[in-house]
Amino acid sequence: MERQEQGGDDDIEIISQASDDGGGIVVVPRQRRHGNGGAGAGLRVSPRTERRLCAAEAALRFAVCVLALVAAVLLAVNRETQEFLGLFVKVARYTDMPSLVVLVNTNGIAASYNLLQGARCLVSTVRGRALVSRPMACAFLFCDQVIAYATLSALAAALVSSMVSKVGQPQFGWMKTADLYKRFSMQAAGAIVCALVAVVGMVVVSAMSAFNVFRLYGAGKGRNI
């Protein structure tokens, strides 16, 4: 077996292998070695694309902020009074379900966080400053992941509690309560839908933060976008 190397922009290796049936030549691309300890190449983003990404991230974060805030407010002000047999009066509030309390708190935190991050992205868009700090990008990605997972967990718990109140659980003696407070249930359902859309937006924001992290590695040796 003979190995020959050819230089140039597109380096290749030519392997000549002899066999009983005759010699054969195989052309194999040479594997390139990356610098900086073998790290992969990053993506170079033009200033115009950078500003578009910042503007899109700012708009998405503000939308998530509004949706999360609407979900929290809808649940916080949701009340319905019901009189039973003229003997006693019961007022339904979101505090009657611990899962809704957690959902209100997490959406409030998510709204505040995305408001601050949206303001940061808006300032970066106006000034045209790119995100070049790797530790800062990693910190943003970590915070985005924490907020997204926290809101998703709170939403899942609220959905389970809502389904139990809607269909009941005869095995445990839990009766259907959603039919007794229809207006309260409808408003809570609207808040849960807003929270669901906000969670989807936070997942997209986390993906954008991950892109910002990975494109910073390679020191601009990758392809332009």
Per residue, the 3-state secondary structure of the chain, as one string, reads: CEEEEECCCCCEEEEEECCCCCCEEEEEECCCCCHHHHCCCCCECCHHHHHHHHHHHHHHHHHHHHHHHHHHHHHHCCEEEEEECCCEEEEEEHHHCHHHHHHHHHHHHHHHHHHHHHHHHHHHHHHCCCCCCHHHHHHHHHHHHHHHHHHHHHHHHHHHHHHHHHHCEHHHCECCCCCCCHHHHHHHHHHHHHHHHHHHHHHHHHHHHHHHHHCCCCCCCCCEC
Residue-averaged pLDDT of the chain: 75
**Is pLDDT at 7 greater than 50 in this prediction?**
no
Kindly report, residue by residue over 45-103, the tens digit of the pLDDT. Answer: 666 777 888 888 899 999 999 999 999 999 998 887 777 666 767 777 888 888 899 99
Q: How confident is the model at residue 27 (pLDDT cuts 50, 70, 90)?
A: very low
C-alpha–C-alpha distance, residues 181 and 67, integer Å: 24
Answer with the residue of higher pLDDT: 133 or 68. 68
Q: How confident is the model at residue 184 (pLDDT cuts 50, 70, 90)?
A: confident
Kindly report, residue by residue over 214-224, the tens digit of the pLDDT. Answer: 877 754 444 44
**Is pLDDT at 121 greater than 80 in this prediction?**
yes
Answer with the residue of higher pLDDT: 147 or 131. 147
Tokens for 101, please give them.
């309390």
